[in-house]
Structure 1
Amino acid sequence: MMKAIVNLVLFFASLSYPIYWLWGENPQVLALLPFIIGFFWGLKGIYEQTAMRYFSWGIAGLLMIVGITRTNEMMYGYPIMINGLMLVIFGISLWQKQTIIERFARMQTPNLSAYGVRYTRKVTLIWCGFFIFNIVVSGMTIYFNLLDYWALYNGFISYFLMGILMAGEWIVRQYMKKHYEK
Structure 2
Amino acid sequence: MSRIGAAIFVALSVAYPLVVYWAMGRFEPRWLAVLLLVLAVLRAIATRQAIWLVAAAGAALLAALATAFNEALPLKLYPALINAVMLVVFATSLVFPPSAVERIARMTEPDLPPAGVAYTRRVTQVWCGFFVFNGALALITALWMSDRAWALYNGLIAYALIGLLFGAEWLVRQRVRAGYRHG
Task: Please give the TM-score of this superposition, normalised by the length of structure 1.
Answer: 0.84
Q: Is the 8 A contact 2:33 2:75 kept in 1?
A: no
Mean Cα deviation higher: 36-45 or 119-128:
36-45
1:60 and 2:56 equivalent?
yes
Unaligned runs of 5+ in 2: none
C-alpha displacement of 1:83: 0.2
The equivalent of 1:21 in structure 2 is 20
Structure 2: distance between partners of 1:111 and 1:13: 36
Structure 1: distance between partners of 2:108 and 2:20: 38
Structure 1: distance between partners of 2:33 and 2:93: 35
Mean Cα deviation higher: 76-85 or 5-14:
5-14
- The secondary structure found in structure 2 opposite 1:94 is helix
The equivalent of 1:135 in structure 2 is 135
What letter corresponds to residue 145 of structure 1 in structure 2? Answer: M
Q: Is the 8 A contact 2:90 2:127 kept in 1?
A: yes
Mean Cα deviation higher: 84-93 or 23-32:
23-32
The equivalent of 1:42 in structure 2 is 44
Unaligned runs of 5+ in 1: 47-52
Task: Give runs of aligned pairs for residues 76-155 of structure 1, distance below 5 A.
Answer: 76-155=76-155
Structure 1: distance between partners of 2:33 and 2:96: 39
Task: Please give the TM-score of this superposition, normalised by the length of structure 2.
Answer: 0.84
Structure 2: distance between partners of 1:42 and 1:119: 30
- The secondary structure found in structure 1 opposite 2:77 is helix
Aligned-residue Cα RMSD (Å) equals 2.1
How many residues align structurally? 175
Structure 2: distance between partners of 1:31 and 1:119: 40
What letter corresponds to residue 43 of structure 1 in structure 2? Answer: I
Q: Is the 8 A contact 1:83 1:132 kept in 2?
A: yes
The equivalent of 1:166 in structure 2 is 166
